[in-house]
């Protein structure tokens, strides 16, 4: 019996979420990301028509579309919406593999006996996501993960494509090779040099030719995928919980004091999100991107699980100082806390040296003020305006 695999992919997820708050921008080229520094995190389809893509530097995107609208990301919203959507998937099957915040595979092989045809399930999911979240998604259905993924891409935006087992080659073979999942510019260029430009031509290329060009494993994989063969199961995997924040600086800097202030700012934002989510964490990770776009990442353990910015900062800034990069020009700084547990299950162990009232109580008080009067109500003096 063939498997029935569904791939659900949100359409321009970050942008779609932000447009709920900015309906006046619908129909315009819009991106989520930092400007003038930073990169595009998500682009509307109107922006993509001009060549704007995720991962593109913001300045380059603005040169392509001078009237491009930039919106700041709100990651808490994206995470909450993603969890709600995965909960919808789970009403149809327990075999759900979320491969990112905005896409997932579902194994519906057993579910169709209870809920009806796969396409009907897909349309229900699309309708529920649209109704509950006011965003759209695209759905692909096929006998393998590979075919389902390609089908969802063909369905974009806001559509559904189902490929039956006996229609796999008819669906795949007319497609250009670059439409295949995992085939990038380099692989496409090598295939083109072999005279291969469509998936059908790839399927008819001798396997040993592909293995000589791409290696035994990759060559064999390309051959099998061109025929729609993919034995990978949908895996239910536990994703490590983590919360963090990172920002690209307004300009590259080699000022250690400024770097330390930015580490504190990132720690403060991460800690506030942790307290809002009622979680504690112990593993602190500092990431630094330099002016030449190289990166360093280092991690260390806090003495006890924490949601206190001062404690997160103490670990992160110690990591920075141990790097010995005080005079290197830095472009971006990030602080992340992982290994999270619910506060009720891993309450902080008080130490004998702890005061009756300390940073934790102060930060909780600022949370209340910010919740009532807005994000500018209280701020650390060391962070300035």
Question: Is 326 a known active-site residue?
Answer: no
How many CB atoms within 10 Å of residue 63?
10
Q: Does 102 carry a binding-site annotation?
A: yes
Among 242, 269, 237, CA closest to 339? 242
What are the C-alpha distances in Å from 322 to residues 79, 300, 318, 325, 336? 33, 11, 6, 8, 17
The predicted structure's pLDDT at residue 346: 52
Q: Are 22 and 156 in contact (CB under 8 A)?
A: no
Give CA–CA dist 160/185, Å, rounded.
27
The predicted structure's pLDDT at residue 356: 47
Domain 242-383 = CATH 3.40.250.10:
no
pTM exceeding 0.75:
no
Q: pLDDT tens digits for the chain (385 residues)?
A: 689 999 999 999 999 999 999 999 999 999 999 888 788 999 999 999 999 999 899 999 999 999 999 999 988 889 889 999 999 999 999 999 999 999 999 999 999 999 999 999 999 999 999 999 999 999 999 999 999 999 999 999 999 999 999 999 999 999 999 999 878 899 999 999 999 999 999 999 999 999 999 999 999 999 999 999 999 999 987 655 788 888 888 889 999 999 999 999 999 989 988 888 888 999 999 999 888 878 899 999 998 899 999 999 999 999 999 988 877 899 989 999 998 888 765 555 555 555 545 556 666 666 655 565 555 555 655 565 5
CATH superfamily of 173-226: 5' to 3' exonuclease, C-terminal subdomain (1.10.150.20)
Domain 1-161 = CATH 3.30.70.270:
yes
Active-site hit among 46, 103, 262, 363? 103
Q: Does 11 carry a binding-site annotation?
A: no
The conformational region for residue 185 under phi > 0 = left, psi -120 to 50 = alpha, else beta, is alpha
What are the C-alpha distances in Å from 268 to residues 4, 322, 349, 360? 45, 21, 21, 12
The predicted structure's pLDDT at residue 256: 92
Q: Are 244 and 307 in contact (CB under 8 A)?
A: no
The predicted structure's pLDDT at residue 362: 61
Q: Are 330 and 254 in contact (CB under 8 A)?
A: yes
Can you give the residue ranges of every domain in the chain?
1-161, 173-226, 242-383
Query: Rounded to the nearest 5°, which phi and psi values hold at 61?
Result: -60, -40
Q: Are 142 and 151 in contact (CB under 8 A)?
A: yes
Cβ neighbourhood burial of 294 (10 Å; 0-12, 13-18, 19+): exposed
Which residues fall within 8 angstroms of residue 319, CB to CB, at 6 or more apart? 284, 286, 298, 299, 300
Give CA–CA dist 259/252, Å, rounded.
10
Q: Are 348 and 291 in contact (CB under 8 A)?
A: no
């Amino acid at each position: 019996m063939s498997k029935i695999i569904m791939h659900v992919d949100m359409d321009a997820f970050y942008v779609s979420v932000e447009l709920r708050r900015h309906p006046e921008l619908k129909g315009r080229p819009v991106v989520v990301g930092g400007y003038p520094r930073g990169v595009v995190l998500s682009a509307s389809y109107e922006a993509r028509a001009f060549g704007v893509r995720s991962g593109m530097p913001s300045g380059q995107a603005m040169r392509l579309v001078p009237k491009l609208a930039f919106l700041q990301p709100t990651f808490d919203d994206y995470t909450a919406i993603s969890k709600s959507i995965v909960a919808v998937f789970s009403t149809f099957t327990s075999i759900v593999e979320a491969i990112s915040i905005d896409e997932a595979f579902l194994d519906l092989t057993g579910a169709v006996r209870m809920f009806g045809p796969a396409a009907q399930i897909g349309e229900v999911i699309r309708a529920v996501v649209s109704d509950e979240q006011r965003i759209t998604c695209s759905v692909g259905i096929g006998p393998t993960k590979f075919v389902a993924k390609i089908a969802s891409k063909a369905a974009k935006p806001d559509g559904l494509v189902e490929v039956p087992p006996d229609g796999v080659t008819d669906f795949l073979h007319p497609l250009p090779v670059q439409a295949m999942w995992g085939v990038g510019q380099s692989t496409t260029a090598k295939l083109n040099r072999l005279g291969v430009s469509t998936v059908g031509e790839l399927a008819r290329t001798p396997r040993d030719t592909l293995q000589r060009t791409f290696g035994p494993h990759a060559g064999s994989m390309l051959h099998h995928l061109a025929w729609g063969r993919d034995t990978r199961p949908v895996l239910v995997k536990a994703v490590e919980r983590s919360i963090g924040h990172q920002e690209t600086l307004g300009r590259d800097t080699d000022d250690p004091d400024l770097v330390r202030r930015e580490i504190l700012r990132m720690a403060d934002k991460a800690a506030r999100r942790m307290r809002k989510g009622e979680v504690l964490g112990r593993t602190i990770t500092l990431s630094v991107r330099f002016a030449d776009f190289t990166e360093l990442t280092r991690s260390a353990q806090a003495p006890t699980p924490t949601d206190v910015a001062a404690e997160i900062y103490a670990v992160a800034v110690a990591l920075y100082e141990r790097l010995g990069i005080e005079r290197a020009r830095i472009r971006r700084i990030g602080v992340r806390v992982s290994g999270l547990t619910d506060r009720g299950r891993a309450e902080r162990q008080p130490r004998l040296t702890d005061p009756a009232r300390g940073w934790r109580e102060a930060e909780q008080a600022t949370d209340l003020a910010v919740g009532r009067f807005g994000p500018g109500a209280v701020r650390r003096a060391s962070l300035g305006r």
